[in-house]
Amino acid sequence: MTARQNSSTERESADVVVLGAGPAGLTLGNILHAHGIDCVVLERAERAALQVRARAGFLAPNTVRTLERHGLADGLLRHGRPHGACEFRTDTGTFRLDYDRLGRREHHTVYPQQDLVTDLMAHYLDAGGRIRFGAEALAVHDADGHRPTVDARDAQGRRTRWHARYVAGCDGRHGAARRSLPPGTLRHHPDHGISWLGLLAEAPPSLDTVGYATHRRGFAGHMARTPDVTRYYLQCERGTPADAWSEERIWDELDLRMRSDDHRPLHRGRILQRAVVDLRSDVVEPLRHGSLLLAGDAASLISPSAAKGANLAVLEAELLALALVDDLAHGDATALDHYSRRCLAHIWRAQEFSHWMIRLLHTDSGPVSGPDTRADSGADPRPDDESFFHESMRRSRLESLRTSRAHQDWFAENYVGV
Ligand code: RFL
């Protein structure tokens, strides 16, 4: 329903106003709509931009099952590829873990996030769901009460005030939902102090596994995306501009850190996208403030070291959707009351594992910034350095992962689990 509130603000309503059309908001919108709940998704970007925004690619088995349960997995079941191994390349040697034969014997499905978002948008719109593209949420008001409102603005500057029963904040770390929380609710983890140059290369994968290289010059990572596109990560100094490195330097550095001389050379190709990612983590606690509920990156930011962000987003969106259905369709608010506590248990588990991965993959001495990639110029810490202790622990952890079946089972269970 639309009504004119004053000369410049439209007035609209929906039982649930969802902020953000990422994996969290779209999973939520699809489930709510399928259960007959009146909802709308407000998304700042245009549809075309969302369909090419490359991010995650490794979907956990639980994520696939969740999407399947709600009839949202057709595309990923048709085009996604199973992936069940990773390789660690270190200065003491290389080892491979077939994690699909360890722990719970489960694998990831590799399916680019932009394809998942494309599918979820199409499914929702085809079913008659409402998305307002180009609509930026500015603030959530009166979340403490039962009639919250959301102020939004479109690209032409027209303003709309949305009246709702609930507002679902799925608009990421910098969205309006977080900005509208009462002061003191954000819990920040100290910045990990580590930065990655995230790259998308027009090149087929060079390994049939995920590749994690720990090197004295810094971490390097390799992750398949499609048969023609591969994601790479290169640890870089904090503050490095994304365009600081030439393509040749990127490939030379990747070859060096991935130890291509001892393995097959990397398949080189054009760099399609590059962005610097500062590894940060934080958790909002609790995830509910009256009528405002958070899910996905808005609820908790997790570094991409263990590929958990998109998976948590889908898991939380399902829990939130079913809780809202219980309340709005059946008058039972129990699940909604437990939403925050249930999600936080998963979030802290994922944060702990992601943190463990960060410490496994990065040396204390930080990345080497010198441009001469031919010289293996990173230096081992001296025994009287404090970093010597941490570096020795890191190596011991890797050695345990290489040799202990129990440790490998633990890794596999956490690596594919959310
Ligand atoms: P999203 O995907 O950021 O979607 C939020 C949406 O909200 C919109 N928005 C607003 N709309 C209206 N009003 C406002 N004020 C708004 N502010 C923002 C945005 O335009 C956007 O469309 O959050 P969501 O749904 O919570 O999903 C989270 C995931 O996107 C994220 O956690 C993952 O991409 C993290 N991540 C990975 N996760 C994995 O599970 N596996 C991976 O392999 C993986 N690789 C990655 C990643 C994240 C990366 N970056 C971007 C740091 C690789 C990279 C490089």
Instruction: Render 56-83 in DSSP notation, one character per residue.
Output: --EE-HHHHHHHHHTT--HHHHHH-EEE
| Ligand 1 atom closest to 299 (CA) | 26
- Residue 298: the pLDDT is 97
Fill in the amino acid letter for 270.
R
Q: What is the pLDDT of residues 88-144, one digit of tens each?
A: 999 889 999 999 999 999 999 999 999 999 999 999 999 999 999 999 999 999 999
User: Over the stretch 254-290, which tens digit does the pLDDT of each residue have?
Assistant: 999 999 999 989 999 999 999 999 998 999 999 999 9
Q: Which atom of ligand 1 is nearest to the CA of 196?
A: 55
Q: What is the mean pLDDT of the chain?
A: 92
Q: Which residue's alpha carbon is nearest to atom 26 within ligand 1?
A: 296
Distance 113 CA to ligand 1 centre (A): 9
Does the pLDDT value for residue 19 go beyond 80?
yes
With pLDDT > 90 as the criterion, what percentage of the chain qualifies? 83
Secondary structure class of 324 (helix, strand, coil): helix
CA 296 – CA 312 distance, rounded (Å): 6
Strand partners, 187: 283
**pLDDT tens digit sequence for 20-75:** 999 999 999 999 999 999 999 999 999 999 999 988 899 999 999 999 999 999 99
For residue 7, pLDDT over 60 is answered with no
Q: Whose CA is nearest to atom 8 of ligand 1?
A: 20
pLDDT of residue 56: 87
In this prediction, residue 375 carries a pLDDT of 47
Going from the Cα of 24 to the center of ligand 1, the distance in angstroms, rounded, reads: 9
Q: How far is the CA of 335 from the centre of ligand 1 (A)?
A: 25
Q: What was the pLDDT predicted at 385? A: 73
| Catalytically active residues, by annotation | 83, 212, 304, 308, 415
Distance, CA of 298 to CA of 20 (rounded, Å): 10
Q: Which residues line ligand 1 (CB under 6 A)?
A: 19-25, 42-45, 50, 55-58, 113, 136-137, 170-172, 175-176, 198, 277, 296-297, 304, 307-311, 313
| Pair type for strands 9-13 and 159-163 | parallel
CATH of domain 4-82+110-189+282-355: 3.50.50.60
Burial group, residue 286, by CB count within 10 angstroms (0-12, 13-18, 19+): middle
**Under a CB-based contact definition with an 8 Å cutoff, are residues 139 and 179 in contact?**
yes
In this predicted structure, the answer to whether residue 377 has a pLDDT above a threshold of 50 is no
Amino acid at 309: G
Side by side, which strands form the sheet with 58-59?
Answer: 58-59, 108-110, 81-83
Torsional sign, CA 280, 281, 285, 286: positive
Is the pLDDT at 374 greater than 80, yes or no? Answer: no
Rounded to whole angstroms, the Cα distance separating 124 from 267 reads 38
Two tokens at 403? 């040799």
Closest atom of ligand 1 relative to the 138 alpha carbon: 15
Give me the numbers of helices (H) and strands (E) for the chain, helices first please.
11, 24
Task: Give pLDDT, residue 379.
Answer: 56
pLDDT digit string (tens) for 281-315? Answer: 999 999 999 999 999 999 999 988 888 999 999 99
* Rounded Cα distance, 181 and 87, in Å: 42
Span 136-160, average pLDDT: 96
pTM for this prediction: 0.93
What ligand 1 atom has the least distance to the C-alpha of 302?
Answer: 32
pLDDT above 60 for 376:
no
Q: Residue for token digits 């489960």?
A: 106
For residue 384, the model assigns a pLDDT of 66
Per residue in 164-198, pLDDT (tens digit) is 999 999 999 999 999 999 887 877 777 889 999 99
